[in-house]
Amino acid sequence: MLSLMKTTYLVANWKSHKTTNEATEWLQTIAKDLPAISTLSEKKIIVCPPFPYLPTLKSYINDHALPIVLGAQNVSPFEEGAYTGEVNARQVKEFAEFVIIGHSERRREFSESDDLLGKKVKQAQGVGLTVIFCVQGEKIAIPNGVSIVAYEPSFAIGTGTPDTPENASAVCEYLKREKHIETVLYGGSVTGKDVHMFTKMPSIDGVLVGKACLDPASFSTIISHA
């Protein structure tokens, strides 16, 4: 029988937080909470830690057969070579299935341009990584072949003031209808209290969570309430 339930994406973006011990403790806590979440089969949990924790988390996830997949927060716009400090797509792919590209923090703090972001997307796609491409509104260019877009209005990121579910839904619907994006997420100050207001909207396929994912108990609440 065909299921009419949509898959809800729950993406945890740790940004530049945590140490190895904290990363492992986070996963251990989440692992304990997951079996109690009855709607787990309808959810796709993607955790995006800083690069150094990808191998540790991957081993733990595999060893405990956890229903969690990994994503990176960035990728080099170049293939391997003399690019000091860069982590290339092939290296990311050893540990992760997803990569966040175009986050407003990278556009703002690291001056990432549309041109550079296009190169990153190309590299990621070239090795089979799925790109979660972030846009701040309807006007931002989306590179070809991107299937997951996160609508993340700057005023809502890290401010404690999310967009309204109605407005977020209207933008997500636009991205699906006009830009033919398959999966559209909302991001910006999502918490366990309001996550369902967003995920219950038919055009919103999930959420990208920053601050509220850092505490594992609070991310578990988001997973169960979504």
> Which parts of this chain interact with ligand PGA (CB under 6 A)?
13, 152, 157-158, 187-190, 208-212
Decide whether 132 or 181 has the Cβ nearer to ligand PGA. Answer: 132
User: 219: burial class by Cβ within 10 Å (0-12, 13-18, 19+)?
Assistant: buried
Cβ-proximal residue to ligand PGA, closest one: 210
Instruction: Work out the burial of residue 183: count CB atoms within 10 Å of its CB; fewer than 13 is exposed, 13-18 middle, 19 or more buried.
Output: buried
Calculate the CA 56 to chain-centre distance: 19
Of the pair 13, 220, the CB lying nearest ligand PGA is at 13
Catalytic positions, please? 103, 152
**75: Cβ contacts below 8 Å, ≥ 6 apart:** 87, 88, 89, 92, 99, 101, 120, 123, 124, 129
In angstroms, give the least distance from the CB of 158 to ligand PGA. Answer: 4
**Least Cβ distance, residue 68 to ligand PGA (angstroms):** 18
SS3 76: coil
Give the C-alpha separation, 74 to 14, whole Å. Answer: 12
Ordered DSSP codes for 182-202: SEEEEESS--TTTHHHHHTST
Q: Which is nearer to ligand PGA, 88 or 157 (CB)?
A: 157
Q: To the nearest whole angstrom, how small is the minimum distance from the Cβ of residue 221 to ligand PGA?
A: 14
Q: How far is the CB of 80 from ligand PGA (least distance, A)?
A: 28
If the CB atoms of residues 125 and 189 are measured against ligand PGA, the closer one turns out to be: 189
